[in-house]
Amino acid sequence: MYNYGINMNDRFIPLNCDDDVIFFEKDTFKVSKLKEMLSQEAKNKLSQAIYYEETKKFRCYVIGLLSSLSIGQESIGLNEIQFHSIKDCQILRVSGKGWQKGKLKIQISKLTNNQAGGVSLEFCSDEPDEPESPLDDIRKRLEANSN
């Protein structure tokens, strides 16, 4: 399993709000558009034809080539291909307080029968979670006592 240089204690949170905004070094995307573009780009790459130079003929598509592994006399069919990446970014959440620096975990899966897979985005902030104010504990106790 790859570590990607990330501390395993980092907490990645799924990005489920399609209107949140992701900013990379040069480009900015809404979460919904980024998922759509990543899915389409993976599909385009896997649908490229492979040309066999020796025979000067079309051989197969990348997705077909990756749909099974041959080991000796055995063939192992693969049902799903997954891609994982972690990239520095900033996020602007609809419910947030401004831009937040962190890391974006991108997971793309494609089914080898050429059906749609899925794109999952998760975010981990570079900034530590804000600790609760000591006054919050006092407020909770007062609320509990008043009930």
Query: Is residue 5 a part of any domain in this protein?
Result: no
Sequence-distant (6+) residues with CB within 8 A of 144 are none
Is 2 part of a structural domain of the chain?
no
Q: Is residue 76 part of a domain?
A: yes
**pTM for the full model?**
0.73
Q: Is residue 8 part of a domain?
A: no
**Residue 4 covered by a domain:** no
The pLDDT tens digits along the chain (147 residues) read: 445 555 545 689 999 999 999 999 999 999 999 999 999 999 888 888 888 788 777 778 888 888 888 889 998 888 888 999 999 999 999 988 899 999 999 999 988 776 667 999 999 999 876 655 666 667 677 777 876
| 21: in domain | yes
In a domain, 80, yes or no: yes
| Torsions phi, psi for 45 (to 5 deg) | -65, -45
Please state the domain count of the chain.
1
Domain that holds residue 142: 13-146
**Is 27 within a domain?**
yes
